[in-house]
């Protein structure tokens, strides 16, 4: 699969290797997906390889950095604590690398309409992908931050395969297990999932999305209907 990246001659003057903060953060991603365990899962092993192969292509291409205006959300008040916890955990290098670029991050919701309670407890930032700051067509990397006692409602991603690696905080998906820093979970395309976080600490997850380029450019993020609404609609 060909992955389009912005070449040095195409836009701007700053490129990935001119920006150590972004460069070393992507190197931490590479180490996560290159050296972490697949737990014996063929699907996870294949996903990890797709992510690291596409990421290696981007790093080698040295794409232009597309600056975005830094943007905070209410939940980013919890970011310093999440980074403190992350620097004590299994993926301390990732937490430290993220702290170096923290003032440059563009935090957003990704939904046209966000429930008021969730708007204070959740946000994400894209590091690499169609929206930059490191441009790529065929892969999205970023971070999701949750406040303590958060329930991220049931949702899915059409045609997009998603993995989370826990950087800080404990969390559960679909009430099936508790995931600690360093753990990875894979959500296959269109797989419904719901996230809950610990009562006492924020949760910071690194994520990777792979899928068709057209879908990565316009993921159309939507929360699933509530159980009550589904019953009313006969779903």
Q: Where are the domains of the chain?
A: 16-233
User: Residue 169 pLDDT > 80, yes or no?
Assistant: yes
Distances from the Cα of 111 to the Cα of 87, 115, 116, 218, 221, angstroms: 30, 10, 12, 12, 6
Question: What's the CATH code, domain 16-233?
Answer: 2.60.120.10
Helix-helix angle 20-35:92-101, to 10 degrees: 160
Beta strands 134-135 and 193-197 are: unpaired
Q: What are the pLDDT digits (tens) for 14-57?
A: 999 999 999 999 999 999 999 988 999 999 999 999 999 999 99
In angstroms, the CA 122 to CA 196 distance is: 11
Strand partners, 159: none
Q: How confident is the model at residue 115 (pLDDT cuts 50, 70, 90)?
A: confident
Contact at 8 Å (CB) between 170 and 198?
A: yes
Q: What are the pLDDT digits (tens) for 177-230?
A: 899 999 999 998 888 988 999 999 999 999 999 998 888 988 876 676 554 333
User: What are the phi and psi torsion angles at 228 (to 5°)?
Assistant: -60, -45
Q: Provide the pLDDT for residue 232.
A: 31
């Amino acid at each position: 699969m060909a992955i389009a990246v912005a070449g040095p001659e195409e836009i701007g003057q700053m490129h990935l290797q001119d920006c150590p903060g972004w460069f070393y953060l992507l190197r931490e991603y590479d180490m996560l997906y290159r050296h972490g365990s697949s737990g014996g899962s063929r699907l996870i092993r294949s996903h990890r390889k797709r992510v690291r192969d596409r990421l290696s292509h981007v790093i080698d291409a040295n794409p232009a950095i597309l600056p975005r205006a830094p943007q905070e959300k209410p939940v980013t008040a919890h970011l310093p604590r999440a980074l403190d916890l992350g620097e004590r955990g299994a993926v301390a290098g990732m937490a430290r690398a993220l702290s170096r670029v923290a003032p440059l991050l563009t935090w957003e919701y990704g939904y046209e309409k966000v429930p008021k309670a969730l708007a204070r407890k959740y946000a994400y930032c894209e590091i690499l992908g169609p929206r930059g700051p490191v441009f790529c067509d065929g892969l999205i990397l970023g971070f999701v931050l949750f406040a303590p006692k958060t329930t991220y409602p049931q949702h899915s991603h059409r045609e997009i395969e998603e993995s989370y690696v826990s950087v800080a905080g404990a969390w559960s998906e679909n009430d099936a297990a508790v995931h600690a820093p360093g753990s990875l979970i894979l959500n296959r395309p269109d797989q419904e999932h719901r996230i809950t976080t610990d009562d006492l600490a924020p949760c910071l997850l690194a994520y990777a999305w792979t899928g068709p380029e057209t879908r990565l450019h316009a993921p159309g993020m939507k929360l699933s209907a509530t159980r009550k609404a589904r019953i009313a609609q006969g779903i």
